[in-house]
């Protein structure tokens, strides 16, 4: 699964990397580094706007399908499995019409070592930000408010990540950003072909301090290297 991640790269840099006009970034003025993004928190995603241009928009992590009456369902839909995303009622409509990219500088995963859980930080070897495959939804909240939510798609782990956890986020290569976002011309079957383990040789993983375990902690101590636990 993917239950925590970070964004250190400034939003204007992310916008340029994603081909987003800076004027199309509706993520507010809070451009501080985020070291410990957790479910139910808001974070930027990249989607295709109503005029066909890419834009950055802030949404809440935890997908609430447009038909859901109980919005607490979002806490159970922080991830969608690549193998079943096209069949699950909660995700299939969004896969057809509301695909997005979730920018990040890496993600955390926890490895069981005896009775303890060792946190690891997984990143690209290249220092550039990466993008997870995501889906988004919207729901009306009264006359003027709209609830915007997203989920991160996961796939089976590559050989680097497998000893830590059996799942990893589906990372979209920059060359495939357009295909993933192009819901108007790329069918879901072609899109799901992009949901595969990212090449392990392009990634790195290292144990970090247990400071990251608490989602209230959001500072550089979350990525501080640590000695791995010993069973």
Q: Are 212 and 119 in contact (CB under 8 A)?
A: yes
Catalytic entry in 2, 46, 100, 131: 2
Q: Which of 84, 68, 36 is nearest to 221 (CA)?
A: 36
* 3-class secondary structure per residue, 73-92: HHHHCCEEECCCCCCCCCCH
Q: Rounded to whole angstroms, how far apart are CA atoms 74 and 165?
A: 23
Query: In Å, how far are 114, 151, 170, 199 from 157, measured between CA atoms?
Result: 21, 18, 9, 10
Catalytic entry in 27, 46, 100, 109: 109
Structure tokens at 74: 């979002």
> Within 10 A of 28 (CB to CB), how many other CB atoms are there?
10
Coil vs helix vs strand at 150:
strand
Pairing state between β 54-61 and 145-156: parallel
User: Is there a catalytic annotation at residue 109?
Assistant: yes
Catalytic positions, please? 2, 109
């Amino acid at each position: 699964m993917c239950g925590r991640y970070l964004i250190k790269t400034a939003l204007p840099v992310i916008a340029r990397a994603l081909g987003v006009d800076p004027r199309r970034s509706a993520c507010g003025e809070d451009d501080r580094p985020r070291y410990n993004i957790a479910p139910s928190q808001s974070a930027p995603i990249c989607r295709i706007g109503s005029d066909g241009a890419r834009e950055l928009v802030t949404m809440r992590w935890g997908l609430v399908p447009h038909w859901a009456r109980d919005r607490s369902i979002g806490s159970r839909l922080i991830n969608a499995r690549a193998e079943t995303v096209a069949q699950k009622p909660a995700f299939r409509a969004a896969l057809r019409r509301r695909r997005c990219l979730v920018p990040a500088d890496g993600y955390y995963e926890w490895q069981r070592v005896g009775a303890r859980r060792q946190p690891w930080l997984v990143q690209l070897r290249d220092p550039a930000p990466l993008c997870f495959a995501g889906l988004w939804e919207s729901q009306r909240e009264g006359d003027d408010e709209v609830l915007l939510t997203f989920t991160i798609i996961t796939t089976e782990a590559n050989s680097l990540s497998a000893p830590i956890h059996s799942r990893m986020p589906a990372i979209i290569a920059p060359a495939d950003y357009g295909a993933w976002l192009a819901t108007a011309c790329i069918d879901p079957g072609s899109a799901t072909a992009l949901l595969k383990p990212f090449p392990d040789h392009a990634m790195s993983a290292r144990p970090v301090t247990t400071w990251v375990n608490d989602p209230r902690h959001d500072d550089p101590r979350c990525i501080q290297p640590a000695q791995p636990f010993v069973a």
